[in-house]
Amino acid sequence: MKIFTGFLLILLFGLFTPGKTVAQSMQKHKEGGLPDPQLSQKDNDYLDRQASVFLDSVKTILAVYPPVIHEGRERGFAKLLMDAVFHEKFAAFRKPGIDFFHTQADHLIKELVKTNADQDAIIWKLYNMGFIVRTKSVTLAFDLVGGASSDSPDFALPAEAMEQIVKQCDVLFISHKHHDHADKAMAEKFLEQGKPVIAPEEVWKDDPIFSKITHLERRAEKTQKLKLANNRTLDLIIYPGHQLTSAINNVSMVTTPEGITVAHTGDQINEGDMMGDFDWIDRVAKNHKVDILMPNAWTTDIFRIVRGFNPALVVPGHELELGHTVWDRLPYWGDDKYLELNYACLKKSKYPVVVMVWGECYHYNP
Ligand SMILES: [Zn+2]
């Protein structure tokens, strides 16, 4: 919708710009194609065909090379192809991109339905920083979103798909208010099914849903209990994080009844005057044995955050968020130099890092 309004404005501006005749503007309009009005329809059609071929290759490669700690070149190439396809402004409006995401999500749903965890923890990535972690007795969801943040209604998962995913989960943790982490349609499904949704108070503050959200104390080193259905209890710490000054950000650390501890950082970022959160970040591992850390891969000093938690496994997220402008959709290849990140150092470090794609899963054995 936004895009068409924008296009209309450009068109109107063109009509009334001196020196440009109405005929020229109309001609431009006629030539403009969909979804990218800057290109002809033939050019748009080519990009669709290219996306389709590239993403077919991605699927073929990922089927043979699933997520592993030291991934090979083939899997790396698949991710480069994804970077290429999804760094085109209108990728979320093109059928191949939409079909790819939906197929990956369908695959995830099928696995969720049939897979039980035993001694291990199974991690799925749905989209952006949306993760699902299942242990023997519980299934935790973090920042689970259906892709509506892409602004492409066709890209967003249909309600039935979200319903099926939520059915398989016990609880949703939302880190902060931004749409690529907080999806109201998804949260409503949890609440409808009587499953708790934990979020900071900035999330949907003036909305009727606010009173149904669980707001826990944001305090480092304070362990809180959360009761789930069937007498299951989680031990939680909600670390008082921030996305600089733009949002209050819950960094949730959850210990399951089996004693597996997982932490999700949302959009935690520290730089400039906002370095205070390192007071608690640097000390997490002194008091806790963390199994799995899910950090936002674009944060400036990811290596220091990982050292603070000292986890047995790192599973980064936030690649290719299509609601962001092209340069800000973190690519799998990193763009570290431009973004001033040390993500590449982390990947070369002693820490086991597994980088997943939408819909994939990884088995962690403590
Ligand atoms: Zn984000």
Contacts of 236 (CB under 8 A, 6+ apart): 198, 216, 223, 224, 225, 226, 252, 253, 254, 255
- CA of 177 from ligand 1 middle (Å) equals 9
CA–CA dist 320, 90 (Å, integer): 13
Contact present, 287 and 257 (Cβ < 8 Å): no
Would strands 361-364 and 139-142 be described as parallel, antiparallel, or unpaired? unpaired
Query: What CA dihedral angle connects 201, 202, 205 and 210, to 10 degrees?
Result: -40
- CA of 1 from ligand 1 middle (Å) equals 22
Q: What is the 3-state secondary structure (H, E, C) of 327-361?
A: HHCCCCCCCHHHHCCCHHHHHHCCCCECCCCCCCE
Residue type, 290: V
Ordered DSSP codes for 208-243: GGGGGSB-----TT--EEEEETTTEEEEEEEEEEEE
pLDDT for the residue 58: 98
**132: left (phi > 0), else alpha (psi -120 to 50), else beta?**
beta
Is-cis flag, bond preceding 96, omega within 30? no
- CA of 202 from ligand 1 middle (Å) equals 15
pLDDT digits (tens, 9 = 90+) for 312-361: 999 999 999 999 999 999 999 999 999 999 999 999 999 999 999 999 99
pLDDT for the residue 31: 74
Q: Nearest 5°: CA angle at 71, between 68 and 76?
A: 125
Contact present, 260 and 134 (Cβ < 8 Å): no
Contact present, 73 and 333 (Cβ < 8 Å): no
- CA of 14 from ligand 1 middle (Å) equals 35
Domain spans of the chain, in order of start: 2-31, 117-364
- CA of 317 from ligand 1 middle (Å) equals 10
pLDDT digits (tens, 9 = 90+) for 58-97: 999 999 999 999 999 999 999 999 999 999 999 999 999 9
User: Taking the CB of residue 111, how many other CB atoms lie within 10 A of it?
Assistant: 17
Counting as low any pLDDT under 70, the low residues of the chain are: 1-30
What is the homologous superfamily of the domain 117-364 according to CATH? Ribonuclease Z/Hydroxyacylglutathione hydrolase-like (3.60.15.10)
- CA of 180 from ligand 1 middle (Å) equals 5
Phi, psi of 92 (to 5 degrees): -75, -10
